[in-house]
Chains A and B, each alone.
Chain A
Amino acid sequence: MVAAAKGHATKTYLGIMTDTDTIIIDTTARIFRELADPQTLATSNRDDWQGPLWTALEESGLTRAWVPDDLGGAGAEITDGFDILVTAGRFAVAVPLAETLLAGWLLARAGIPVPDGPLSVAVGGQEAPITVGADGILSGSARAVPFAGAVGHLALLAEQDGAMAVALVDASSCTIEVGTNLAGEPLGNVSFDGVTPITVSAAPDGLSPGDVMLMGAAIRAQQMAGGLQGVLDLAVDYAKERVAFGRPIAKFQAVQHNLARLAGEVAAAVAAAGSAADSIQTTEDFNEAVFLEIAAAKIRTGEAVGTGAGIAHQVFGAIGFTAEHVLQRYTKRLWAWRDDFGSESEWAVGLGAMVAANGADELWPLVASR
């Protein structure tokens, strides 16, 4: 099954063009549908699904999509990894697949072999970066690391002798203040003081903590786009089934228009996230245009979550507000994803400052360049 996340070759089957990205999407969807269908999880109260799900994801090669063959990965394209995340987002399942992909991407950039098991990524503060001392020992900390406390290893970017290096650390050697995000998933503040990394290797030229934030933001944008598609599907199906005042609520114009607005928000999220993914695939570095693409995707998908989740809950009424209902598995996760790797407001301040500094007359050329 390692082949599932491999390569991007196009082949012809019965005269129909099929792409490996379709295979990747189908494989991802099948694994989640069989092992972690959100509707089943919502009603079964089982919590023994995470192990088998993770095993299936690892065995299929999906968790190592962004790791090249020679480092034990699947060597898939950047856009293939993003496709996996959109598809996984449609199931809104709490496993650190996105974090493991990001860690694999970061480790691979420095040629570090990627360990088995779930991983996550730590980004130090802008004012207080994580550093590697002359003795090879880390100091510094990172806040709000997704799944910290629930993964075996952490990847991070640290300063070493004035340059950037990528480090792999054993999570159990760090001091982790474990909390949870809005969806109840692990989220921790991690101190690396006194920790000796398993491996440290020079980062490629120009790679900065800001770039890791950009990649993280792009990843969350894909997940939100997928999650919102899932929400739209749920809401449309429910509106057709639920009868009130003697007819399905889908027949009421007020409900139709609310769902049309939801569809507009989902469309904006899908378009913004898809465009950002494409821009990363085709760029050599994170330049201003790619910054626009990723910041815009994180801002616009986050805004779509705010508006879209509100509409979906209105469609479902009281039942969607219950703990056992599937909708809240989506909406809580979507709300939480908005906060990771920079919120809408944080990215908007950065994007706005860039546009203002460039000057009013450079705005259109920048937008038109995309």
Chain B
Amino acid sequence: MSSPIQFDPIRLPAETETLRAEVRAFINEEIAAGTFDPNTSALVDGFNMDLSRRIGARGWIGMTWPKKYGGQERNFLERYVVTEEFRVANAPVRTHFTADRQSGPVLLKYATEEIKADVLPRITRGECCFCIGMSEPNSGSDLFAASTKATKTGEGWRINGTKLWTSNAHHADYMIGLFRTSAATKENHRHGLTSFLVDMKLPGISISPVHNMADIHEFNEVVFDDCLIPEDHVLGEIDGAWKQATSELAYERSGPERFLETFYILVEMVRALGPEPDARGAEGIGRLVAQLHTLRRMSVSVNGMLQAGKEPVLEGSIVKDLGTVWEQALPGKARDLTAFADNDTGNRQAFDELLQFATKIAPKLTIQGGTTEVLRGIIARGLGLR
């Protein structure tokens, strides 16, 4: 009777349904106005600052943050509803999504009052884009091998080195970067790294595109050459960034974006199979919908437990592991199930185009934000195996 895994059957509170209706109405208005085409927007890079500004004006960015920083002081389950509706509509929200999900909360916790008062309201207005500077040419999953150096000088910190696979760097106003301020110690290989807020317009930063295998410019290489960062842009404890990561990761790992990234393929697959599929098609749909429903219930549960002040780190890692493996396998399953579908429903061409795209982006899903291997290591630790 020792199994530590817990998924309370938490429901989204009734008041979130009003919010959901508001978000859907907003999205429908934007689609009607031609801001984006939900059938093809998955295929493009997803930046639209004008849309982000309008979303910000509705109070849907940084909505859990204190009002004095532009937030709405709403709860995490309300944010959950907003996130999943924009995700399912394939709305281009990349301008603000990283800042809303993780950079803003880090600033709230570790930035100076002055920085919080300056930056957070701009994020909530949808006019401030963030990127994450963690991976390097020789440091990916092995985060604590980062070697880009921050050296203390009389004027602040001098940064030298290279970050790689930095999504959104070419759009970003700021980076939250992880830099080496001391050598690791024998006792603690995670020691010696510090988080910094980096203004991407500072001199000494050069950004080069790295196109991915779906021919989209998302990744970048970011080179720091004697870039000078002000003293007060340190976030948290010097040399102790490793202590700061844990509980925030449960949010990052358990959101609806961790199983809905290829959801459009399921919808178009159902359309392609038509209203009366044969047993093979019906069984395929039924299993996928059962798996999707289960993942969503797990994800809502983790977010509800977080809202209640619990720390479901193990459960959050499980959601990301199962969710990303599922969304990665979805294009292949949809391909199999539609092999004999005729074209009566008229969406075959659109389906095929989306399927090609989803197949090409699928490999990243189990790599970004913590690989499957890293997650399973965390789960194994949660089980007491290591």
Contact = CB atoms under 8 A, between A and B. Distances in A.
A267 B5 contact: yes
B294 to A, nearest CB: 4
Interface string B365-385: 000000001011101101111
A260 to B, nearest CB: 4
B297 A271 contact: yes
A363 B288 CA distance: 11
A256 to B, nearest CB: 4
B386 A256 contact: yes
A331 B243 CA distance: 41
Contacts of A255: 385
Contacts of B373: 257
Nearest to A230: B3
B210 interface: no
A351 B289 contact: yes
Majority secondary structure of chain A interface residues (helix, strand, loop or mixed) = helix
Contact of B287 (A257, A293, A348): A348
Contacts of A250: 385-386
Contacts of A233: 1-3
Given A349-B283, A368-B20, A360 B5 contact: no
Interface string A246-290: 000011010111011101101110111011011000000000000
A344 B373 CA distance: 29
Contacts of A272: 290, 293-294, 297
Contact of B385 (A236, A352, A356, A370): A236
Given A236-B384, A239-B385, A256-B377, A345 B283 contact: yes
Contacts of A356: 270, 273-277, 281-282, 285
B292 interface: yes
A170 interface: no
A355 interface: yes
A361 B267 contact: yes
Contacts of A338: none
Given A270-B7, A296-B294, A363-B267, A264 B321 contact: yes
A264 B322 contact: yes
Contacts of A1: none
B3 A229 contact: yes
B360 to A, nearest CB: 23
Interface string B44-72: 00000000000000000000000000000
B267 A360 contact: yes
A267 B267 contact: no
Given A261-B376, A349-B282, A268 B287 contact: no
Contact of A300 (B263, B273, B291): B291
A355 B289 contact: yes
A240 B85 CA distance: 44
Given A256-B386, A267-B318, A360 B268 contact: yes
A28 to B, nearest CB: 11
Contact of B386 (A90, A229, A251, A299): A251
A299 B293 CA distance: 11
Contacts of A367: 289, 292-293, 296
Contacts of B386: 250-251, 256
B286 A351 contact: yes
Interface string B313-325: 0010010011000
A296 B293 contact: yes
B229 to A, nearest CB: 38
A361 B382 CA distance: 39
Given A277-B9, A292-B293, A353 B384 contact: no
B298 interface: yes
Contacts of A295: 286, 290
A90 B5 CA distance: 14
A330 to B, nearest CB: 13
Contacts of B5: 229, 232, 263, 266-267, 270
A3 to B, nearest CB: 22
Given A264-B379, A271-B297, A364 B282 contact: no
A370 B293 contact: yes
Given A232-B3, A266-B5, A352-B281, A256 B290 contact: no
B276 A357 contact: yes
A51 interface: no
B284 interface: yes
Contacts of B289: 292, 296, 351-352, 355, 363, 367
Contacts of B291: 268, 296, 299-300, 303
A171 to B, nearest CB: 34
A297 B297 CA distance: 11
Contacts of A357: 275-276
Contacts of A360: 267-268, 270-271
Contact of B282 (A232, A271, A353): A353
21 contacts: A90-B1, A233-B1, A256-B376, A263-B318, A267-B318, A268-B298, A268-B322, A270-B5, A274-B9, A275-B9, A292-B293, A296-B294, A299-B286, A299-B290, A348-B282, A357-B275, A360-B270, A361-B267, A363-B266, A363-B270, A364-B263
Interface of A: 29, 90, 229, 232-233, 236, 239-240, 250-251, 253, 255-257, 259-261, 263-264, 266-268, 270-272, 274-275, 277-278, 292-293, 295-297, 299-300, 303, 344-345, 347-353, 355-357, 359-361, 363-364, 367-368, 370
Interface of B: 1-3, 5-9, 11, 20, 84-85, 88, 263, 266-268, 270-271, 273-277, 279, 281-287, 289-298, 301, 315, 318, 321-322, 373, 375-377, 379-380, 382-386
The 10 A-B pairs with the shortest beta carbon distances in the complex, nearest first, are: A348-B286, A352-B286, A352-B282, A352-B285, A351-B286, A256-B380, A278-B9, A260-B376, A296-B290, A360-B271
Given A271-B9, A355-B286, A357-B276, 6 more contacts: A236-B2, A250-B385, A259-B380, A275-B9, A296-B289, A357-B275
